Amino acid sequence: MLKLIYDALWYPVLPVAALASAGLDRQKLKQRLGRIEAQADAGQPRVWLHAASVGEVEGARPIALGLSLRNPAPALFITCMTETGCQAARAGICGARAVMLAPLDCRACVRRFLRAVRPHTLLIAETELWPNYLLAARRAGIPLAIINGRLSTRSFTRYRALRSIFRSGLESVALVLAQSDEDAGRYAMLGVPQARITVVGNPKFDLEWLRDPPSLRPQLEAFTRGRRVFVAGSTAPGEEAIMIEAYRGLRRRFPDLALVLAPRHPHRAAEVEAMIRAARLDYVRAGELRGHGQPRADRTTARGQAHAPQAGAEQPAGEPTAPDATAGRQAGKGQTASGQTANGHDAAPDLMPFEHAARAPALLLDTLGELRALYFHATLAFVGGSIRPGRGGQSLAEPAAAALPVMFGPYHESQRMVARALLQSGAGCIVRDAGEIVEAAAPLLSDANLRRTKGERARAAVKQLGGAAERSLMALSRLSSLG
């Protein structure tokens, strides 16, 4: 009965859901409604790979790349729930036949999509369980495998409450490749037969320690050069204020220390910027940094606001302001590292001078795709989404693979495997507030040898967790459609 209600509700809300998820873009609307064209070579296996967004794409990437090396290589049709996920898939999975927004979970949309793609296999990454994806694959006789499968406490509770909608679809899942024993047990409790569940680990760990360190654009390299850098990565609401408080305490002892604040969602940049201003810290925004020697547009008083505290304002002890921090910021809002704004238009030339990056004590990372490179130029890292409950923590593997000692909060259930490895090796520690961050960071900032030892342990811990991609590909080869 609940499934009938679920399907019936889709039809009145379908136009609103399509517009909300695709806007007025004609091509994106067609994708959300399943109206696509999908071409593949005759006789070539077709694989539909669905990953929600950037994190899920990164976890599925080693498996997708492994599949592309097979002979014959399958035609990969990748769908994501977000445009940023699609961008990550296009950049990281070059052999994909097509990357597009996923069809909405309305029966008609999913059926229409399946008729166009005609996949031989459906691979769903991590926790993207949609009732009609599961049931449509079952009715069409398409083997469905969940790769890099995980179920947080929050997700498991939600799915269990709606088990009647998912049960028949999950019972027909051909294979679940779970990250951990705990994830495997939760999938079994939701109805997946135990014999079809295999624990393989997390392919993201393979990706982190195997790939080469990324390059950092000169503007950001100028910020990190010649000083110690504390990166607060993928932070959630409430965590930036804690990091600013901790940084102010640390900077009294370590005047050369710089801070990078990288909110998990760049659209929060203005909110985080207001916090930095309230703390009277001089700062730069990554999206506003321009190259050395580029011309700077004239500014009017109305547009040109300094990133430094106003003259005459009282300065916190130990927090000097760069003497000529006078760059404007308004044109840089939402700008990416490519020099374009988030909506793809050319950015205005009102950008901050290259030289200012070398003096400002704080950097607001309001761009996409640059956090990992900054980790490789950092001294310490805190990973967000973990001090308060509800998010489960963001990637601990990225800073660990960069050989950094890693701090994170007590709510890291989505990262429990790497968190456990970091804690056991002494390369990571749990912090709950600004005082604990200061207490954990001070010894590391004082002792380069201690810092180096813990960083090497962090990288070794990630490396030891590797091998999941190979185990996943071996398990998938047992499916007749991929064998």
pLDDT in tens, 141-180: 999 999 999 998 888 999 998 888 888 889 889 999 999 9
38 within 8 A of 117, measured Cβ to Cβ: yes
Looking at residue 154, what is its pLDDT? 84
List the domain boundaries for the chain.
12-201+467-476, 218-298+326-464
Does residue 92 register a pLDDT over 80?
yes
**pTM listed for this prediction:** 0.72
Does residue 478 register a pLDDT over 80?
yes
Does residue 313 register a pLDDT over 90?
no
**Would you state the torsion angle of the CA atoms of residues 28, 34, 39, 41, taken in this order, to the nearest 10 degrees?**
140
How confident is the model over 3-17, as a mean pLDDT? 91
Distance CA 483, CA 480 (A): 5
pLDDT in tens, 420-470: 999 999 999 999 999 999 999 999 999 999 999 999 999 999 888 889 999
Mean pLDDT, the chain, rounded, equals 85
Which tokens belong to 78?
């990748």
How confident is the model over 195-207, as a mean pLDDT? 90
Q: Confidence band (pLDDT; 50, 70, 90) for 356?
A: low
Rounded to whole angstroms, what are the CA distances from 236 to 99, 134, 239, 481?
Answer: 29, 32, 6, 41
Looking at residue 325, what is its pLDDT? 34
Nearest to 103 by CA among 10, 232, 203, 8: 10
Looking at residue 466, what is its pLDDT? 87
Among the residue ranges 247-261, 276-290, 342-356, 398-412, the one predicted with the least confidence is 342-356
Among the residue ranges 46-60, 65-79, 347-361, 466-480, the one predicted with the least confidence is 347-361
Which tokens belong to 21?
């998820």
Looking at residue 400, what is its pLDDT? 95
Give the chain's end-to-end CA distance (angstroms, integer): 38
Q: Which CATH architecture has domain 218-298+326-464?
A: 3-Layer(aba) Sandwich (3.40)
Looking at residue 236, what is its pLDDT? 97
Does residue 304 register a pLDDT over 90?
no
Name 416's Cβ contacts closer than 8 Å, sequence gap at least 6: 180, 182
Looking at residue 195, what is its pLDDT? 95
Q: Backbone dihedral region of 147: left (phi > 0), alpha (psi from -120 to 50 degrees) or beta?
A: beta
Looking at residue 319, what is its pLDDT? 36
Q: Confidence band (pLDDT; 50, 70, 90) for 270?
A: very high
Nearest to 472 by CA among 158, 144, 147, 234: 147
Distance CA 222, CA 372 (A): 16
Does residue 303 register a pLDDT over 50?
no
Q: Confidence band (pLDDT; 50, 70, 90) for 212?
A: confident
Looking at residue 210, what is its pLDDT? 60
Looking at residue 166, what is its pLDDT? 85
Distance CA 480, CA 306 (A): 63
Looking at residue 208, what is its pLDDT? 66
Domains 12-201+467-476 and 218-298+326-464 share a fold: yes
Q: Which CATH number is 12-201+467-476 given?
A: 3.40.50.11720
Looking at residue 311, what is its pLDDT? 37
Looking at residue 345, what is its pLDDT? 36
Among the residue ranges 24-28, 39-43, 231-235, 277-281, the one predicted with the least confidence is 39-43
Residue type at 409? G
Nearest to 57 by CA among 363, 430, 369: 369
Looking at residue 357, what is its pLDDT? 66
Does residue 339 register a pLDDT over 70?
no
Q: Compute the radius of gyration of the chain from its Cα atoms.
A: 24
